[in-house]
Structure 1
Amino acid sequence: MGVKIFLPFIGVYENYGRNDEINSEVTVMTMIDHIKNRRSVRDFKSDEIPAESLRTILEAVQHSQSWANNQCWEIIVLTDPVVKKAVQDALPQGNPSFNAIEKAPVVLALCARLEVSGYYQGVTPTKFGDWFMFDLGIVTQNICLTAYDLGLGTVVVGLFDHAKAARILSLPPKHELVALVPIGIPVPDAAVRDSPRKDMEEFIHYNGF
């Protein structure tokens, strides 16, 4: 089996031939390939995530961009089955990601410090107010693409009782729990939803709407 190389990081996928004899077949995986091919995964193996892989994902958070480099994020790494089960109970059972919270070996709870991002001298100079959702959106994308690069699956969970989950995780005042991201090794043939896309001509405008 050939080796997949991800540019610009030049990282070799752990589960794509690292232990096989390397031959001359090399597939170059660019960032746009990752963006196009990554899908939400909700069914995971019970295997733990290698510590090195988890650290790499957290490094992607560390180096995310943010408003004026405020770095407003706080990440809670959930690995304790008891804690994950308690957080799972904050989701409605009809949520497609309900079981993913318990099955994934790691769930990242993405939190933000309030009144930090989008602020200048105590006021918000834009009409959008607190900018934490923009910054956490960048963090979330970095997590998902980095995990995909490592052969791991993710799903972004936003539909749950945020206040209940925040109490379970003991969030301090002026902090907001934004999303949960289960991470793990996808089961073989894990069901993923088709993701049809609009033609670019439908949403791209030049020099005006």
Structure 2
Amino acid sequence: MDFLQFVSTRQSDRAFDPERPVEKEKLDRILEAARMAPSACNAQPWHMIVVDDPELKNRVADATSTRALGINHFTKQAPVHILLVEEKVNLSSGIGGWVKQKDYAQMDLGVVAAHIVLAAHAEGLGSCIVGWFDEEKMRELLSIPDSRRVWLDIVIGYSTQALRSKKRKSKEEIVSYNKYR
């Protein structure tokens, strides 16, 4: 399958087989793909916490769910959660971000998240990037220092969800050449 076909079949899955664990070899390859992600000035401002202990995973999933809004209840089905924690950037990235008024660490975390979900897809696994969760609860559950931000929880498992058609803006709406239109 070529790359365009590959990314066209990757989706945010919200239904997983809770009885089917993710093989360690597959998880190791996903983490290696994440480790290879590029970052501004090679700062690599991330720490990944893999949660695969069933009891702890369920407590982490509870921190993503909100009854009032009825969201993220599917996260308990996924056998693996990978939390992305922001680490401090190196001097070059920090100075560059300050000069350019850009948060390179957040951009870098987005890149590593993309590597994780694409690597999961390459392994035949489904995934979903979750940004809505109780950050304080995550810190408490996973012994994350208060000085660190927990940006994302990426759930991974064997999807039971059918492939959906993608609704995207047309290329003409989002692309221009040689000037902003």
TM-score (norm 2): 0.88
Indicate the structure whose relative CO is greater, using CA pairs within 8 Å and at least 6 residues apart: 2
Which structure: greater helix fraction? 2
TM-superposed CA distance for 1:198, in Å, is 1.4
* Partner deviation per Cα, 1:136-163 (whole Å, 9 max, x = no partner): 1001111111111111000010011222
SS at 2:154 equivalent: strand
Say whether the 8 Å CA contact 2:15–2:159 is kept in structure 1.
yes
Matched residues, percent identical? 32
- 1:30: which partner in 2? 2
Query: Size of the alignment, in residue pairs?
Result: 176
Distance 1:161 1:194, change over 3 A: farther
Where do 5+ consecutive residues of structure 1 fail to align?
Answer: 1-28
Where do 5+ consecutive residues of structure 2 fail to align?
Answer: none
Alignment counterpart, residue 74 of structure 2, candidates 89, 94, 99: 99
Task: Output the CA distance in 2 between the equivalents of 1:98 and 1:191.
Answer: 18
SS at 1:49 equivalent: coil
* Partner deviation per Cα, 1:9-52 (whole Å, 9 max, x = no partner): xxxxxxxxxxxxxxxxxxxx122222222111111112111111
* Partner deviation per Cα, 1:57-86 (whole Å, 9 max, x = no partner): 001111000010111110000011221222
Which amino acid counterpart does residue 5 of structure 2 have in structure 1?
A: D
Q: RMSD of aligned C-alpha atoms?
A: 2.0
Say whether the 8 Å CA contact 1:95–1:159 is kept in structure 2.
no
What does 1:59-70 align with in structure 2 at a 5 Å threshold? 59-70=32-43
Say whether the 8 Å CA contact 1:40–1:192 is kept in structure 2.
no
SS at 1:114 equivalent: coil
Q: Which has the larger radius of gyration?
A: 1
TM-score (norm 1): 0.77
